[in-house]
Amino acid sequence: MLEVRALTTAYQGLTAISDVSLDVREGEIVLVAGANGAGKSTLLKSITGMERAQAGTVSFLGARIERMPAHRITAAGIAFVPENRRLFPRLSVRDTLRLGSYLHRRDPQRDAPLGVVFDIFPRLAERLDQRAETLSGGEQQMLAIGRALMTRPRLLLLDEPSQGIMPKLVSEILGAVEKIRAGGVSIILVEQRIKQSIKVSDRYYLLKNGAVVSSGSADNMEGSGDLEAAYLS
C-alpha cells in the first residue's frame, strides 16, 4: 500500500536520509529501527508531508503523495503520531479525540471510531474530562494514538511510542499496536526498544546514517547480528 522510493531529505544542505526505499503491505507492522540521529523521524516526516523531500517518490494506494500538503496526506489515509505526541496540554481527552475527527466534521458518523479507541484504550473512556497535561506519559501516548485513529487511517505511523513510558506500559502500548493492526490498519513503528517491538512486527528496516543498511522479515532480525549492530551503532 505504501511505496517509498529513493527518498532523500536534507536540512539546510545536510542530508538526513539518503536514497531510502521502503514498502508497507496491507495489514503489516513494519519496524524502522536505528540509533539516535539515524534518520527515523525524518523518514516519517517526509512520508507525511511534515518535511519536504528533495528527491524520491512516495506512493500510497496507487497515488503519488510526495508533493501533497500534510493535511491532504492525512485525508488520503495516513495518520502520524509524532515523537513528542504534540498534545494541547489544556484540552480534555474528549476534545482532543474530537479534534482528531475534524476531517470528518460533516459526517454524522464523525465520532464512530470512538468505540474502537475506547476498546483499545479503555483508560481514555474513564478520563474524558481530564486535561491532557494531567495524564501520565503512557496515557498521553494512548491519547495521541487515539487522536490519530479518529482520522480513520489505513496506515498509522508511530514515532517511538514507548519513549518516556514506564516499562510496564510499554508492552501495553505494543499490545495496542497489534490490536490496531487486527482492526485493519497497517503500521510503521519507529522504535529504539528493538527487542520488544520486533516481536510484534512482520518486517524491519534498519537505518544507519540516513540509509537503509539492512531489511527483511522480523524472524530473521531476531536471530541475526543486525540487532546487535543497531544497538552498537
Q: Using the minimum distance from each CB to ligand ATP, give the nearer residue, 39 or 138.
A: 39
Q: Which three cell numbers stand for residue 133?
A: 497535561
- Asked if residues 201 and 31 have their Cβ atoms less than 8 Å apart, the reply is yes
Q: Using the minimum distance from each CB to ligand ATP, give the nearer residue, 11 or 62.
A: 11
From CA 50, how far away is CA 185, in angstroms rounded? 21
Segment near ligand ATP (CB under 6 A); pick from 36-44, 55-63, 114-122, 217-225: 36-44
Output the smallest distance, CB 204 to ligand ATP, in A.
Answer: 14
Output the smallest distance, CB 41 to ligand ATP, in A.
Answer: 3
Where helices occur in 49-166 by DSSP H, the ranges are 70-76, 93-100, 114-120, 122-125, 137-149
Q: Using the minimum distance from each CB to ligand ATP, give the nearer residue, 29 or 38.
A: 38
Q: Using the minimum distance from each CB to ligand ATP, give the nearer residue, 24 or 230.
A: 230
Class of residue 222 by CB neighbours under 10 A (exposed 0-12, middle 13-18, buried 19+):
middle
Q: Is residue 63 at the binding interface for ligand ATP, with CB under 6 A as the rule?
A: no
> x-or-dash pattern for ligand ATP, window 72-91, by CB under 6 A?
-----------x--------
Q: Using the minimum distance from each CB to ligand ATP, give the nearer residue, 83 or 111.
A: 83
DSSP lists the bridge partners of residue 92 as 131
Q: Is residue 37 at the binding interface for ligand ATP, with CB under 6 A as the rule?
A: yes
Q: How many CB atoms lie within 10 A of CB 4?
A: 24
Q: Is residue 40 at the binding interface for ligand ATP, with CB under 6 A as the rule?
A: yes
Name the packing angle between helices 137-149 and 93-100 (round to 10°): 30
Q: How many CB atoms lie within 10 A of CB 192?
A: 16
Starting at the edge strand found earlier in the chain, the sheet holding 29-33 runs 78-81, 155-159, 186-190, 29-33, 203-208, 211-217
The residue within the footprint of ligand ATP, chosen from 34, 100, 146, 161 (CB under 6 A), is 34
Output the smallest distance, CB 61 to ligand ATP, in A.
Answer: 25
Q: Is residue 161 at the binding interface for ligand ATP, with CB under 6 A as the rule?
A: no
**Residue 202 has what DSSP assignment?**
S
Interacting residue ranges for ligand ATP, rule: CB under 6 A: 11, 16, 34, 36-42, 83
